[in-house]
Structure 1
Amino acid sequence: MRRALLLAAAAATALSLAACNKRPAEGNTAEANTAAMNATAPGQSGPVNAAQDAMGAAVGATSAATVGARDTDAFVQNAVEGNMYEIKAAAIAAERSTSADVKAFAKMMTVDHTALQNQLKPLITKAGKTAPTELDQRRQGFLDNLKAASAADFNKVYLDQQVAGHEETLTLMKGYAEHGDNAELKAAAAKTAPKVQAHLDKAKALQAKAGA
């Protein structure tokens, strides 16, 4: 029931794509800054952070399936920030996880998503777009919650985020490959999708193993 409520709220939020998928603009009011801090503040309880991650995942999934699948600016933002998040999350996992399997997966994420980022850079420039250099509030919130996870819960939090993140990215890549308006980025998205699917399959296998 709680999951259903989270998904419903996330879908409504995603329609406006307001705070969760943007960086704070200069000159934000104190109230807006406070709200952003509350949305991504680390150190809260595990259940609260898990609920935030579920909300963020639902917002991301909706965004990837709608605007990200059709708008080149949105595709570039989400693809680049998705890679940035994966690399940063992998660095945290490499340091904090006590599982050899999870550490190996994190190493793969570092190598593969760095390669994907480098492949996108010239295509983004050629398309006349500017790649973001910072994470949005939503993805920074994922990292904050990952850092705040207890040692006992860390692997679960990381793998849950990885499954949700790769589901979002797979939707983004498949959607833009079908509906995008830049031929070279469409081709890159189509080429990337199988790699993302392989990552997702591995993350799910590790998630199931950890649950067992």
Structure 2
Amino acid sequence: MASACGNNESAATSDSAMNADNSTMADNNTMNDTSAMAADAPAMNMASDTATAPHATDEEFMKSAAHSDQNEIQLSKLVLEKGVTGMAKDHANQMVTDHTKSTTDLKAIAQKKNVTLPTDMDAAHKAIATTMGKLSGKDLETQYMQQMVLDHQKTLNTMQAHDKMTQDADLKGFISKTSPVVQSHLTMFKQHAGGAM
């Protein structure tokens, strides 16, 4: 009997220890989950960088679109001047051609509406150009490809958002014509930059 009672006490003690261990494991799991969520936070913030609210006015949209064209044209010219080769060179040449065409189409609409469009990169991309200007070879190609993915995703988001709010037939036509081209660029750069992203 004493032995049996002793065993029962030992079992009770073991049960208490197991419960304590389980509680500790649960706390650890909670901490791990919290840590994982915290680790994911930067990635979520990066993803939100490409989420764009529609512009309040058609004029703001046109100026933003003009900046987008100049960003792609001038960054592409920069990497061409620095001697990128292969697919990067082909893609950069295509960016210059396609975004120059987009600029021409947008200028025609802007002139009808007496809107003066910017003819240079925005401040953020001037800084990016300075950074890229210090790179060469594979590093330059990787940076260029990754930037093109980010830029084209943001441009596509902006176009889709503004298309839902604008009542301007000219801009709706421009978006309808241009957004498939932007989407094709995005797909192309994602395929090329896949290993570097």
- Cα distance in structure 1, aligned partners of 2:134 and 2:153: 23
Following TM superposition, the consecutive aligned residue runs of length 4 or more in structure 1 with deviations greater than 6 angstroms are: none
Q: How does 1:169-188 map to 2 (within 5 A)?
A: 169-188=155-174
Report the equivalent of 1:89: 75
Identify the match of residue 106 of structure 2 among 120, 131, 135.
Answer: 120
Structure 1 residue identity aligned to 2:80 = A
- Cα distance in structure 1, aligned partners of 2:161 and 2:173: 12
Whether 1:66 and 2:30 are equivalent positions in the alignment is no
Whether 1:4 and 2:41 are equivalent positions in the alignment is yes
Q: How does 1:1-212 map to 2 (within 5 A)?
A: 4-5=41-42, 8=45, 58=49, 61-62=50-51, 65-68=52-55, 70-208=56-194, 210-211=195-196
Q: Report the CA distance between 1:82 and its aligned residue.
A: 0.6
List runs of 5+ in structure 1 lacking aligned partners. 9-53
Q: Tell me how large the CA RMSD over aligned residues is.
A: 2.4
**TM-score if structure 1 supplies the norm length?**
0.67
Cα 1:6/1:133, change in 2 over 3 Å:
farther
List runs of 5+ in structure 2 lacking aligned partners. 1-37
Q: Report the CA distance between 1:194 and its aligned residue.
A: 0.5
Query: How far does the alpha carbon of each residue in 1:139-190 deviate from its partner, in whole angstroms, 9 at most, with x for none?
Result: 2122222212343411110000000000011111112222123221122112
Q: Report the CA distance between 1:97 and its aligned residue.
A: 4.4
Contact 1:94–1:103 (CA under 8 A) maintained in structure 2: yes
Query: How far does the alpha carbon of each residue in 1:67-106 deviate from its partner, in whole angstroms, 9 at most, with x for none?
Result: 43x4212211110011011111111121224431100000
Structure 2 residue identity aligned to 1:129 = V
- Cα distance in structure 1, aligned partners of 2:179 and 2:41: 28
Contact 2:54–2:161 (CA under 8 A) maintained in structure 1: no
Contact 1:67–1:74 (CA under 8 A) maintained in structure 2: no
Contact 2:54–2:162 (CA under 8 A) maintained in structure 1: no
Matched residue SS, 2:66:
helix
Structure 1 residue identity aligned to 2:132 = L
Contact 2:145–2:193 (CA under 8 A) maintained in structure 1: yes
Which structure is higher in RCO with an 8 Å CA cutoff and minimum separation 6?
Answer: 1
- Cα distance in structure 2, aligned partners of 1:66 and 1:181: 17
The structure having more radius of gyration, on CA atoms, is 2
**TM-score if structure 2 supplies the norm length?**
0.72
